[in-house]
Amino acid sequence: MFIAMNRFQVLPGQEEAFETVWASRDSFLADVPGFVSFHLLRSTGEETHTLYATHTVWQSRAAFEDWTRSEAFRKAHAGAGGNKDLYAGPPKLEFFDAVQEVLPG
Amino acid sequence: MFIAMNRFQVLPGQEEAFETVWASRDSFLADVPGFVSFHLLRSTGEETHTLYATHTVWQSRAAFEDWTRSEAFRKAHAGAGGNKDLYAGPPKLEFFDAVQEVLPG
């Protein structure tokens, strides 16, 4: 399992506008091989910003890397970098490989 | 969906020791109501530390909060705060609520 998270510092009061950007975006992810799930996550609000993160789970890092070279990726990111007035700082992209797992049972 | 992540800054060279601590720990999570999954995640190594995160998914924030008041939680954290020689700084706990979802298909 591989997780890509992009962390966004959203300015106080811009939370609804930020969520609308994501709700109205076509990610083209649903049919990508190796794609497991995408969630937009909202964390705690702080004085200077509210932390959000996109949280995309892939079957493997290879599946993620294949996607970044695909037409689906290009289309999904055609509008990236806009809406700069929503943010207190630049986004931060983080990658994680699962090294241990516990499941119910 | 609710996610609790605890971010650890592990000193360079201590990665294997850190993973061993988690591999030999009994989390008592498998039978907790509302528990979905636990993963230990390893991110990119930087000069000062390697970022790890525990990544626990719950059906709801309420399920997570019930767990924090349970005997299973108390037992799982009885040894917490040890192994300080493994870290470049204190852990940072973050909570996330899913506000949007995309699944395959």
Ranges in chain A, pLDDT < 50 = none
Q: Least CA distance to B3: which residue of chain A? A: A41
pLDDT (0 to 100) of residue A22: 93
pLDDT value of position B85: 93
Instruction: Identify the pLDDT of residue B18.
Output: 96
Q: What pLDDT does residue A14 have?
A: 96
CA distance A17 to B37: 31
Q: What is the DSSP string of chain B?
A: -EEEEEEEEEPTT-HHHHHHHHHT-----TTSTTEEEEEEEEEEE-SS-EEEEEEEEES-HHHHHHHHTSHHHHHHTTTTT--GGGBSS--EEEEEEEEEEE---
A88 touches chain B (CB under 8 A): no
pTM: 0.92
Residues A104, B31: C-beta atoms closer than 8 Å: yes
| Residue ranges of domains in chain A, CATH in brackets | 2-97 (3.30.70.100)
For residue B61, what is the nearest residue in chain A, using CA coordinates?
A43
Question: Which one of B2-6, B28-32, B79-83 scores highest in mean pLDDT?
Answer: B2-6
Q: What percent of chain B has pLDDT over 90?
A: 79
Residue with tokens 């969630």: A39
Q: Among residues B57, B16, B59, B24, which one has the least CA distance to residue B39?
A: B57
**Any CB–CB contact under 8 A between A82 and chain B?**
no
Report d(CA B54, CA B10) in Å as an integer. Answer: 13
Chain B within 8 Å of A78 (Cβ-Cβ)? no
